Amino acid sequence: MNKSLLPLEVHDLTVSYNRKPVLYGIDLEIQEGGLIGIIGPNGAGKSTLIKSIMGIIPSNGGWVKIFGKKGKKSYQRVGYVPQRESVDWDFPVSVLDVVLMGRFGHAGWLKRTSKKDKKIAHECLEKVNMSPFADRQIGKLSGGQQQRVFLARALAQESDLYLMDEPFAGVDAVTENAIIELLRELKQKGKTLIVVHHDLSNAKEYFDQIILLNMRLIAYGDANTTFTKDLLQKTYGGRLTVFTEIADQSAKNSDVGH
């Protein structure tokens, strides 16, 4: 495959928050058509990685290419699913309104969403079994239902690459099954899905490939080769604390120097 058309290519990506380094020199080359999990402990920078790939958090160094393109133009082929807690669910919009937002990128500026957009939105709601709730205000849904609305919005985007931030967090078992089924279906269609996940117990079962992350990339590859005791210990274990401390210190020192 032409390397420049990889769904996602990340080179030496470095991000810091309030002068504290969060991600260090991340290199990734993601091949097309896979279900990939990002695994790591709390504060490992899993969400930060996704957000900085989407440019929501500015990076301090390195670059990101999506299907060979950099910057805003590249976002058109990406569907981003933020964490459920990141939005205000009291906002006065209905379920259908939210799903229609997935069509905004297609509609373009100044144009209203068309009948076709509405049809697609309804179809996507159907796929996540949320059609009966189309007119409901989003605050009146359960956590699992809210997550499914977010997923329907992502489906409506008809993207080729999906970045999902903890879609399984705080959802019921039925929703979790429905979501994983849907993700597998998307993968079958040749889409590439990168999913932040925190539950180690089912990670190996859910994902073909796994990215182990703790401030830096620990490992990336087939679930069989990466989801090993050794590498997990490296990701979650205490061996990295020295690295974190030194990184913190050097960041502080360099601040003093400037």
Partner 1 sequence: MDAAQVADGSDLVSKTLRFFSFSDHSVQVVVLGVIFMGVGCGLMGGFVVTRKLSLFGDTLSHAVLPGVAVGFLWSQSKNSISIVVGAMIAGFLGVLLISLIKKSTKVGLDSALGLVLSGFYAVGICLLTRIQKLEFGNQSGIDRYLFGQITGLSAADVWSMGISCLLIALITTIFYKEILVTGFDPGFAHSIGLPVDLLQYLLWMLLAFSVITSLQVVGVILVSALLIIPAATASIITQKMKALLIWSASLGMIAGVTGSYISFLGSRLPTGPLIVLSSTLLFVTVLFLHYENGLFIQWIRLRGKDRKIALENTLKAVYQELEADNFFHDTVKLGNLAKRRRISMPEMYQESVHLVRKDFAFLLRGENQTLPSDNTLSLTPTGWSEACRIVRNHRLWELYLTNEVQYPADHVHEDAEKIEHVLGDETVRKIERILSNPRKDPHGKLIPSQQDIEQGYIDRRIAKSLP
**Torsion angle of C-alpha atoms 58, 59, 63, 64, degrees rounded to 10:** -50
Identity of the residue, 94 or 129, whose beta carbon is nearer to partner 1 in the bound complex: 94
Determine, following the binding rule CB under 8 A, whether residue 167 of this chain makes contact with partner 1.
no
Smaller CB separation from partner 1, 84 or 216: 84
| Shortest distance, position 229 Cβ to partner 1, whole Å | 35
Amino acid 21 reads P
Closer CB to partner 1, residue 25 or residue 105? 105
Our finding on whether 110 is near partner 1 (CB under 8 A) is yes
CA dist 123 and 103 (Å) reads 13
Residue closer to partner 1, measured from CB, 18 or 42: 18
Q: How far apart are CA 236 and CA 148, in angstroms?
A: 30
State yes or no: residue 134 binds partner 1 (CB under 8 A). Answer: no
- Asked if residue 215 lies in contact with residue 21, where contact means CB atoms within 8 angstroms, the answer is yes
Does the footprint of partner 1 cover residue 104 (CB under 8 A)?
yes
By CB under 8 A, is residue 174 in contact with partner 1? no
What is d(CA 215, CA 194) in angstroms, rounded to the nearest whole number? 17
Contact between 87 and partner 1 by CB under 8 A: the answer reads yes
Instruction: Check if the beta carbon of residue 124 is closer than 8 Å to that of residue 99.
Output: yes
Pick the binder of partner 1 from 59, 157, 209, 235 (CB under 8 A). 157
Among the residue ranges 82-90, 125-133, 216-224, 237-245, the one whose residues contact partner 1 (CB under 8 A): 82-90
Q: Minimum Å distance from CB 135 to partner 1? A: 9
Kindly tell me which residue out of 4, 31, 60, 86 binds partner 1, with binding defined by CB under 8 A.
86
Q: Closer to partner 1 at the Cβ: 60 or 228? A: 60
**Interface positions, 36-75, toward partner 1 (CB under 8 A):** 51, 54-56, 72-73, 75
Nearer to partner 1, 93 or 231 (CB): 93
**What's the closest the beta carbon of residue 102 comes to partner 1, in angstroms?**
8
Nearer to partner 1, 90 or 230 (CB): 90
Give the interface with partner 1 as residue ranges (CB under 8 A): 18, 51, 54-56, 72-73, 75-76, 78, 80, 82, 86-88, 91-94, 97-98, 101, 104-105, 107, 109-110, 112-113, 137, 139, 153, 157
